[in-house]
Amino acid sequence: MTAAARLREDATRRRLAALGLPEGGAWANAARRAALERLAAMGLPVRRDEYWRHTDPATLNAPEAAAAELPDGAAPPAFDAIDSLRLVFVDGVFAPERSDDPRLAGVEIERLSEAATRDIHWARELYGTLEARGQDPVARPFAALNSAFATDGALIRASAAAERPVALIYLRESEASDAILHHCVKVEPGASLTVLEAGPGAARLNTVLEVEVAEGAAFHHVRVQGRDPARRSVTHLFGRIGAAARLKSFTLTKNGALTRNEAVLELAGAGGSAHVAGAALGDGAFHHDDTVFVTHAAPGCESRQVFKKVLRRGATGVFQGKILVRPAAQRTDGYQISQSLLLDEDCQFLAKPELEIYADDVKCSHGSTSGAIDETALFYLRARGVPRAEATDLLVLAFVAEALDEIEDDRLRAEVLARLEGWLTRHRS
């Protein structure tokens, strides 16, 4: 056995020893057992794995979550000002008394812990299914671990155009909470839904969001991770996009010791569209990793990946993005850009933007850049009387604008922008 295989086996054994498979109804038991088998077969990641070269999984593998100082509670979580249906989770446990009444016209909302006790449920077809599909060709062990051990989360089914977004608010009250949340979203043909996510969640948070967007449906996802320098999170978004359906996801990350956001999207029906974007702002001990895998499996689809990172004082940004175009996916339009702005000398940006293309009638491009702030632009602004700090902020905002533009809703974009500006003000040099 190689050294890496031994490490993997060891890490997996130690982690599994600390976890017990939850008991539920027939469908949940079957899904959890299957996920555990997947996890046991692939094992937890080690540094030698191709997609973990730049992110050390040790703290995510550890049986116990390391304690993380609580964030100062002064600022309200994001999206407070947005009219939404709020579902509040405290340290990974649903808090009905702090949440809104989960009734929304055309939308069915249930708690995973309750639905899992039943023998039959619509989520049976979705829970763990997209996660399992997303394991090939690249293993995503923390997602399999999530499907096996998650006890809480939201199951949302939209059969019409939802009039308000559903907001998943993650609060944190414990210093060493270790939370696993699993959400399933099904957007029925022609329906539309927006899901918001905000808050620190736990000292160590593992979330999976599985989204099935049926023919002609639309799903929007806007997420703000932040205000919590010591937090560690590993998140997965699995999306399957049907014919003429749309999925858009945007994430703003501010600080956090370690964040790994994976998006695994499959364009399964003709004429579908998938956009995934992110802006990450990190200062100091900040490690942020975006790992994106977009598969074009049907003809005439469009995909965009837009990722911007602003790094200060030793922060690290990682981007691993792939566009896979299968032979059937003629007339594909794929675009991917990953850029980072290194504001201080000791920051680093590690990127692997990949294309894998098996169809000839395609238009695919990717770009990746990294560098310091443009001194000429800075000089221009300063020559016009803008102080250095403000001029820098302006250039940073201009830099991340392309990612922000992926948020369609004006109010949501304004809310995210306000958060971003707040961070810049707090982290001026």
Among 80, 119, 361, 405, binds another protein (CB under 8 A): 361
Q: Is 163 in the site for another protein (CB under 8 A)?
A: no
User: Shortest Cβ distance from residue 249 to another protein (Å)?
Assistant: 23
Among 235, 273, 303, 370, binds another protein (CB under 8 A): 370
Contact in structure between 182 and 112 (CB atoms under 8 Å): yes
Taking the least distance from each CB to another protein, the nearer of 259 and 340 is 340
Q: Which of residues 309-338 bind another protein (CB under 8 A)?
A: 327, 330
393 phi-psi bin (left φ>0, alpha ψ -120 to 50, beta other):
alpha
Q: How many residues bind another protein (CB under 8 A)?
A: 35
User: Shortest Cβ distance from residue 287 to another protein (Å)?
Assistant: 14
CA 64 to chain centre: 22
Among 358, 388, 389, 421, binds another protein (CB under 8 A): 358
Could you identify the residue written with the tokens 């062990």? 141
Q: Is 348 in the site for another protein (CB under 8 A)?
A: yes
Contact stretch for another protein (CB under 8 A) within 109-117, 122-130, 294-302, 348-356: 348-356
Q: Is 353 in the site for another protein (CB under 8 A)?
A: yes
Among 30, 161, 350, 395, binds another protein (CB under 8 A): 350
Residue 238 CB neighbours (<10 A) = 27
User: Shortest Cβ distance from residue 306 to another protein (Å)?
Assistant: 15
Q: Is 408 in the site for another protein (CB under 8 A)?
A: no
Taking the least distance from each CB to another protein, the nearer of 52 and 349 is 349
Q: Which of residues 44-63 bind another protein (CB under 8 A)?
A: 50
- The SS3 call for residue 30 is helix
Contact in structure between 251 and 263 (CB atoms under 8 Å): no
Among 111, 133, 352, 413, binds another protein (CB under 8 A): 352
Taking the least distance from each CB to another protein, the nearer of 133 and 366 is 366
Phi, psi of 329 (to 5 degrees): -85, 60
Reading the block at residue 314, the tokens are 């030793």
C-alpha distances (whole Å) from 294 to each of 279, 305, 321, 416 are: 18, 9, 8, 25
Could you identify the residue written with the tokens 């555990």? 36
Contact in structure between 50 and 383 (CB atoms under 8 Å): no
Q: Is 388 in the site for another protein (CB under 8 A)?
A: no
C-alpha distances (whole Å) from 114 to each of 6, 144, 203, 344, 428 are: 38, 21, 25, 49, 46
Write out the residues near another protein by the rule CB under 8 A.
50, 327, 330, 340, 342-372
